[in-house]
């Protein structure tokens, strides 16, 4: 199928991308920033996307896929054309990656926003979720979100996006939409790992599938280890040193208060993650504390058969 043409980016973003691409073109990883609260750029790759919003690159034993989920949370007026173009490109990219599993067995996707996490079902304004206030006060802080919803800045944002206040787009609704669009593709093409940020905490999940209709982000574990998982493994590592920490109880009371069924390990301490692709069968994720460099968490996916999941 012919991939839909990606809508043109704003002139300022194209200029920004071109400038920084010329700087990072010769680095080891090139341009590996997926669009979130930061710009990313990538015009080359196994299946070129033709846009800086999403892209892929092969590095060592890993096929890395950067995704842009901004449009799902009301902070991008592009809408359905951007969604459709990205999803069609993703299918083509992953199909090509599966033809190259012998050389690059691991497929790792990443984006700014998680699909499954503690707090992802929040009923707060989605525009608050992406605001500077959320960076300081917490992504699901009800008091701050309520104040934000009445603020001139919020009303201005709604006007810019063409929404009539009050907007009914919530964090939970945005998360549900991302799951509906991406989870089936991840499973169909066998994406091994999905790494996200945004939430200022670390949360490791066991291999899991989506939760019930009442809380799709409340992922349900399919096993209690990482031995030959038959689903994509999800992890959130978004606390590398932002202006404020989230807590795991911001969305309380609620279906994802404190933890979700698939939660394995959590911390709100400033920390960062590292991925090690040892060989064809073993890939390790490690999380280190910023304060002293000590190892907080480590887990290894064992996968002897890469490719589409059978469920």
- For every residue of 171-222, DSSP letters joined together read HHHHHHHHHHHHHHHHHHHT--EEEE-SSSSEEEE-SEE---TT-TTS-EES
Amino acid 285: pLDDT: 97
Q: Is the pTM of this model over 0.85?
A: no
The tens digit of pLDDT for each residue in 242-273 reads 677 888 988 788 889 999 999 999 999 999 99
Percent of the residues in the chain that have a pLDDT greater than 70, as a whole number: 72
CA dihedral of residues 174, 177, 178, 179 (deg, nearest 10): 120
User: Mean pLDDT for the chain?
Assistant: 82
Burial class of residue 265 (count of CB atoms within 10 Å of its CB; 0-12, 13-18, 19+): middle
Cα–Cα distance for residue pair 62/53, rounded to 1 Å: 20
* pLDDT value at residue 127: 66
CB neighbour burial string for 267-276, b if at least 16 within 10 angstroms, e if fewer: beebbbbebe
CB 130 within 8 A of CB 140: no
Residue 19 has pLDDT above 70, yes or no: no
């Amino acid at each position: 199928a012919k991939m839909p043409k990606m809508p043109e980016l704003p002139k300022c973003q194209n200029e920004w991308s071109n400038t920084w691409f010329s700087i990072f073109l010769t680095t080891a990883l090139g341009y590996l920033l997926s669009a979130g609260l930061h710009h990313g750029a990538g015009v080359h790759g196994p299946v070129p996307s033709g846009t800086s919003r999403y892209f892929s690159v092969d590095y060592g034993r890993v096929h890395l896929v950067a995704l842009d989920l901004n449009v799902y949370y009301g902070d991008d007026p592009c809408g359905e054309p951007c969604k459709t173009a990205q999803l069609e490109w993703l299918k083509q990219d992953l199909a090509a990656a599966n033809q190259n599993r012998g050389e690059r067995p691991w497929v790792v996707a990443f984006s700014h926003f998680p699909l499954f996490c503690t707090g992802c079902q929040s009923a707060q304004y989605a525009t608050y979720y992406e605001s500077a206030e959320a960076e300081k006060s917490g992504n699901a802080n009800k008091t701050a979100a309520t104040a934000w919803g009445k603020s001139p800045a919020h009303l201005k944002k709604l006007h810019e996006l063409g929404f009539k206040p009050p907007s009914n787009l919530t964090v939970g609704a945005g998360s549900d939409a991302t799951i509906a669009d991406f989870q089936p593709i991840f499973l169909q093409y066998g994406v091994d790992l999905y790494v996200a940020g945004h939430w200022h905490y670390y949360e490791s999940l066991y291999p899991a599938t989506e939760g019930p209709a009442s809380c799709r982000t409340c992922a349900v574990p399919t096993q209690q280890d990482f031995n030959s998982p038959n689903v994509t493994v999800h992890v959130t590592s978004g606390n590398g040193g932002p202006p404020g920490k989230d807590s795991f109880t911001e969305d309380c009371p609620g279906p994802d208060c404190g933890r979700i069924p698939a939660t394995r390990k959590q911390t709100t301490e400033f920390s960062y993650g590292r991925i090690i692709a040892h060989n064809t069968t073993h890939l390790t994720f490690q999380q280190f504390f910023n304060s002293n460099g000590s190892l907080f968490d480590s887990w290894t996916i064992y996968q002897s058969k890469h490719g589409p999941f059978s469920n």
